[in-house]
Chains A and B, each alone.
Chain A
Amino acid sequence: MRILLAEDDSMLGDGLRAGLRQLGFQVDWVRDGVAAERELASGDYAAAVLDLGLPLKDGMDVLQAVRASKITTPVLVLTARDAVPDRIRGLDQGADDYVVKPVDLHELGARLRSLVRRAHGQMQDVLRCGAVLLEPSARRVSLNGECVTLSTREFDLLHVLMLNADRVMSREQLEQQLYSWGYEVESNAIEVHIHHLRRKLQPDLIQTVRGIGYTVQRTSAPT
């Protein structure tokens, strides 16, 4: 899952990026409000972690601008402003969650997963497509109750497809969701991962829509 991290403090930003990466997130880190707004508007992020005291443009203004331009990316506000009026204002301005520093990395990860899940209309943490079960928090996938070992990229790809079940995802969309900045994405990387997933799970789990992209069906065809 690709996350945008907007944090001006270099030490905290570095820690959050490293920590969220350990938890399996792809993290893009911006250090000011203008960059945060630009990235939220252009990039395809599963969620964003937004500090409020950002240089150039305050986090609250970024949030307002982003919501005004109908960008629905879930935003978790991470701030030192702990006063109740601040929290209320943050949530009312369009934040999906409000967390006061310091925060436990695991809690932050769980909150982000929950935001992403809800953004996709999922009520439960586990995603199911026929016989395939995906648990984002444990980063575990099982087929008919049997655990299947997947690489990080394979898991993330399957996660994105299952979150967007019944929708066709283009290769570009998938790349956007999977790779943070600084990764050279090989042109056939997605195809290779899809191939591996089909081999490790079910050949017909992921369907190719020629010329458009890939999709999984919530009620997958019985095996």
Chain B
Amino acid sequence: MNRFVVSDPSRCIGCGACRVTCSEAHRKRALRPASRISLVKTRDVSAAVTCHQCEGAPCLSVCPEGAIYQEGDRLQVDEARCTGCLLCALVCPFGAVYPSSPSTAHVKAAPYSRASSARSAGLLRQKETGAYTSVVVCDLCAKAPDGPRCIAACPTKALSLMDEGALSHLARERRIDAIEKTNVAMQGTAQLAELLAAEAAFEAADVDEEARP
């Protein structure tokens, strides 16, 4: 099973520490500085969206240059081979592929004012600017000595690494949850049965009293 970073929206406060750390950790190791994790903040939910490290990764399978590859249980981008066609960003089911420029790049200035606005999605706006040369995906901080930096940086512990152990732990928790729910339901029926029995006894007593002269 591939490991990947999961976020818990009930803990996420949307501070963006994971994005900053992701960008900085990769920049320090001479990789593209774009953040591999993004934040979604709506009225109801704030959550970090991460690469799910799909087993049959669609980004990998559409790449025309073979620039994305699986190394062990994580995806990697060969930044020298990537041409920036962004087919991977288009097909990713979670929108977790990001175009990035090298940290030292000059930005190609747009000669005219950009025409695109909120009517275009972010991907199209980035294409128009053209300030990227490669894509980045979450590599679980392959070059960092002690695991994904975003998990260490999260102040509310909303991020965690999902692997075999964590998955079985989650499954166990869910089973316990289900058992408890069933217990509550069964207790409910037991109490209802008691109530019904008591009521029946009370009515019977009433009937007895009425029958008495």
Asked whether A and B interact, the reply is: no
Report which B residues bind A (CB closer than 8 A).
Answer: none
| Chain A residues at the B interface, C-beta cutoff of 8 Å | none
